[in-house]
């Protein structure tokens, strides 16, 4: 087992605000061959939660997650997309001083980063853009991203160079803002890119452009990328031997057919094998940024244990999807909302958290 190493030699006090620069270079995670290593140079397995639903994280979540054994949390900023619920899209073209990010969203992002950093959780910070990644997911998305119907292949970062430049400005701002925050672990440029009609090489070129901006603003912070739609078979399509400080990823949700049956589990293992193949062949680290099992498809809480055991046995780090979720207890979240009250699925919490410590 490789546990979190949080030694006084490199742990820095949290700044008063998440974006305040430290007086000395802030220690980061790093990539060494197929390992992610902590600032002392020791291999570290990152295991923890996704705070995936915007606006649902609570001030005590970080300390609670750390007490559960987690050492990582994946935190979103959603920019330019049609999302369920109001007030989730942070895009505000009038917010010129913050690169088009609304002040309210930026304040909440600062809070989440500070909560996690204070609890010594490594932070995977990602910027999600449903328009930017595709723009054609459904009719509502099309109308939101392309209200005038001008983009046959979807209004996204590949069909609109001006929007791509705006997104690069967002990343330049975010990387610079948080680069010296203790426990910034990785920046994740854009989850699940899936532009219709665009060759895989152009997805790779997009990543190269965003990573260039991030590295210029925040040198030394690793980036996390995956293939088309973050499907495991596509992971090799974005591998580049010239890229340094890159961690590769793919989704590992259990796609149950007849409940959480053995055929579904075998299919998930086959996807995990593709991530392992990339790690072994190219000596690069992999990290599953989203792994999850719907509660309604695993009523005995057996399949989730099999899935997480497989990751632990193969030394693959992960962020479980998700901590606080939807109103439906049959979905992924181990915390679900009923009215104004949050309820915990204790059997799920007890099934998942032991794997953080192994």
CB 302 within 8 A of CB 260: yes
Average pLDDT, the chain: 92
pLDDT category at 302 given cuts 50, 70, 90 is very high
Query: Does residue 179 have a pLDDT over 60?
Result: yes
Its pTM stands at 0.93
Kindly state the helix (H) or strand (E) to which residue 289 belongs, with its residue range. strand 287-292
Q: Which of 252-256, 258-262, 292-296 has the lowest mean pLDDT?
A: 258-262
Is the backbone peptide bond immediately before 322 cis, with ω within 30 degrees of 0?
A: yes
pLDDT (0 to 100) of residue 12: 38
pLDDT (0 to 100) of residue 86: 81
Q: What is the mean pLDDT of residues 167-175?
A: 98
Q: What are the structure tokens assigned to 107, written together?
A: 């304040």
What span, in angstroms and rounded, lies between the C-alpha atoms of 10 and 257? 47
Query: Does residue 14 have a pLDDT over 50?
Result: no
Query: Does residue 276 have a pLDDT over 70?
Result: yes
What span, in angstroms and rounded, lies between the C-alpha atoms of 174 and 168? 10
What span, in angstroms and rounded, lies between the C-alpha atoms of 222 and 124? 10
pLDDT (0 to 100) of residue 322: 98
| Bridge pairing between strands 335-338 and 341-344 | antiparallel
Backbone torsion region of residue 296, taken as left when φ is above 0, otherwise alpha when ψ lies between -120 and 50, otherwise beta: alpha
Maximum CA extent, the chain:
56
Q: What is the mean pLDDT of residues 313-334?
A: 96
Contacts of residue 235, Cβ cutoff 8 Å, sequence gap at least 6:
226, 227, 248, 249, 250, 274, 275, 278, 286
Query: Does residue 20 have a pLDDT over 60?
Result: no
What span, in angstroms and rounded, lies between the C-alpha atoms of 74 and 187? 10
Q: What is the mean pLDDT of residues 97-121?
A: 98
Q: Dump pLDDT digits (tens) for 29-52.
A: 999 999 999 999 999 999 999 999
pLDDT category at 22 given cuts 50, 70, 90 is very low
Q: To the nearest whole percent, how much of the chain has pLDDT over 90?
A: 89
pLDDT (0 to 100) of residue 9: 35
pLDDT category at 326 given cuts 50, 70, 90 is confident
Assigned fold of 32-356: TIM Barrel (3.20.20)
Query: Does residue 91 have a pLDDT over 70?
Result: yes
pLDDT (0 to 100) of residue 26: 83
pLDDT category at 16 given cuts 50, 70, 90 is very low
Long-range contacts of 135-142 (CB under 8 A, 24+ apart): 135/159, 135/195, 136/196, 140/82, 141/81, 141/82
Q: What is the mean pLDDT of residues 257-275?
A: 90
Degrees (nearest 5) of the Cα angle 5, 33, 31? 50
CB 250 within 8 A of CB 288: yes
Q: What is the mean pLDDT of residues 112-139?
A: 97
CB 13 within 8 A of CB 182: yes
pLDDT (0 to 100) of residue 258: 67
Q: Residue 248's beta-bridge partner residues?
A: 225, 286
Count of beta carbons in the 10 Å neighbourhood of residue 23: 9
Query: Does residue 11 have a pLDDT over 70?
Result: no
Q: What are the structure tokens assigned to 316, written together?
A: 């693959």
């Amino acid at each position: 087992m490789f546990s979190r190493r949080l030694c006084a030699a490199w742990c820095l006090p949290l700044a008063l605000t998440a974006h305040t620069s430290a007086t000395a270079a802030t220690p980061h995670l790093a990539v060494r061959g197929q390992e992610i290593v902590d600032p002392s140079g020791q291999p570290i397995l990152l295991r923890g939660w996704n705070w995936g639903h915007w606006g649902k994280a609570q001030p005590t979540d970080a300390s609670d997650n750390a007490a559960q054994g987690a050492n990582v949390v994946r935190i979103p900023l959603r920019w330019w997309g049609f999302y369920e619920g109001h007030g989730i899209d942070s895009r505000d073209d009038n917010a010129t001083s913050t690169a088009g990010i609304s002040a309210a969203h930026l304040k909440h992002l600062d809070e989440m980063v500070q909560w996690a950093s204070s609890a010594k959780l490594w932070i995977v910070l990602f910027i999600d853009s449903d328009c930017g990644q595709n723009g054609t997911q459904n009719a509502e998305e099309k109308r939101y991203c392309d209200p005038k119907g001008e983009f046959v292949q979807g209004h996204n970062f590949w069909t609109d160079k001006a929007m791509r430049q705006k997104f690069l400005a967002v990343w330049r701002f975010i990387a610079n803002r948080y680069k010296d925050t203790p426990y910034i672990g990785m920046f994740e440029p854009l989850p699940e890119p899936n532009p219709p009609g665009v060759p895989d090489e152009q997805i790779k070129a997009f990543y190269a452009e965003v990573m260039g901006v991030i590295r210029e603003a925040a040198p030394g912070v690793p980036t996390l990328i995956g293939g088309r739609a973050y499907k495991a078979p596509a992971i090799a399509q974005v591998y580049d031997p010239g890229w340094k400080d890159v961690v590769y990823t793919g989704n590992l949700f259990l796609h149950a057919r007849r409940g959480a049956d053995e055929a579904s589990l075998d299919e998930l293992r086959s996807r995990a094998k593709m991530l392992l193949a990339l790690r072994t062949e190219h000596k690069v680290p992999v990290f599953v940024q989203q792994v999850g099992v719907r509660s309604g498809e695993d009523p005995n809480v057996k399949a989730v244990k099999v899935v997480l055991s497989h990751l632990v046995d193969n030394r693959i780090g992960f962020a479980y999807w998700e901590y606080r979720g939807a109103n439906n207890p049959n979905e992924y979240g181990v915390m679900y909302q009923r009215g104004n009250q949050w309820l915990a699925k204790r059997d799920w919490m007890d099934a998942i958290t032991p794997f953080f410590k192994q």
